[in-house]
Amino acid sequence: MCLTSSHRWTLSARLASLMLLAWATPAASAQLQITDAATGTPLGDAVVEVYAPSTAGSVSAAADHYQIVQRQATFIPHVLLVPVGAEVSFPNRDTTRHHVYSFSPAHPFRLDLYLQETPPPERFDHAGVVVLGCNIHDAMEAFIVVSDAPYRTLTGDDGRAIFDLPPGQHRLRVWHPRLEDTHLEWWEGEIVADQSREVALTLAASLPPVPAPSALQQRFQRALEQTQAN
């Protein structure tokens, strides 16, 4: 088929119009605000998952490096969100030994006593919430949320989550470490591609106590900081 110059100009004009329309039309975003139902304050460390028919949110676990550091008898970060198949390392940057463990069904494991070392990473192959503890320091607690959702995020201090979703209504799940005391329950609902909504969570679990460091721990920490500064 041979196109005349006028036909070619018409096709080019139509293509240009379509490209301009696509550029001028912003992508529809679903925006969520996660709050504490009792106080209305934004909730950080909330995991938000959206199950939509897309792989846009899926990222190769092997391409990323994940870790939970032990420092000043604390797990850092308190909540870590990873995709299924991710490997997580647990470096000890403390002046005391730690014994990291989890009894959670998604991934039970233990890392026997070690000091200022990094054991081989653990691979998390099953979706779920993994609660971490230390057999030496009862107050130490952290969470690894292993997600198979194509769209997922962890809220910051502003409690916000934003997703560019395909049209339609999609399954929505929200988790927070203080939803309840087993740490395994999720809030569930639905979200539309261009919807803005607030999810107010009723928090039941209490905040873990933060023990004051002993005088000996404080001396060790000061000595470590002086060594690192020099």
Q: Which CATH class is domain 60-149?
A: mainly beta
Return the SS3 of 113.
strand
Question: Each residue of 8-64: pLDDT tens digit?
Answer: 444 454 544 444 433 333 456 899 999 999 999 999 999 999 998 755 444 444 457
Q: Which fold has domain 27-58+156-208?
A: Immunoglobulin-like (2.60.40)
The percentage of the chain sitting over the pLDDT mark of 70, rounded to a whole number, equals 72
Integer Cα distance of 90 and 107 in angstroms: 15
d(CA 136, CA 206): 21
Percent of the chain with pLDDT over 90: 66
Is 43 buried (19+), middle (13-18) or exposed (0-12) by CB count in 10 A?
Answer: buried
- Confidence (pTM): 0.77
The mean pLDDT of the chain is 83
pLDDT at 151 over 80: yes
The β-bridge relationship of strands 141-147 and 79-83 is: parallel
Q: How far is CA 80 from the centre of its chain?
A: 5
Written as six digits, the tokens of 120 are 């081989």
* All structural domains of the chain with their residue ranges: 27-58+156-208, 60-149
Of 141, 169, 165, the C-alpha closest to 151 is 165
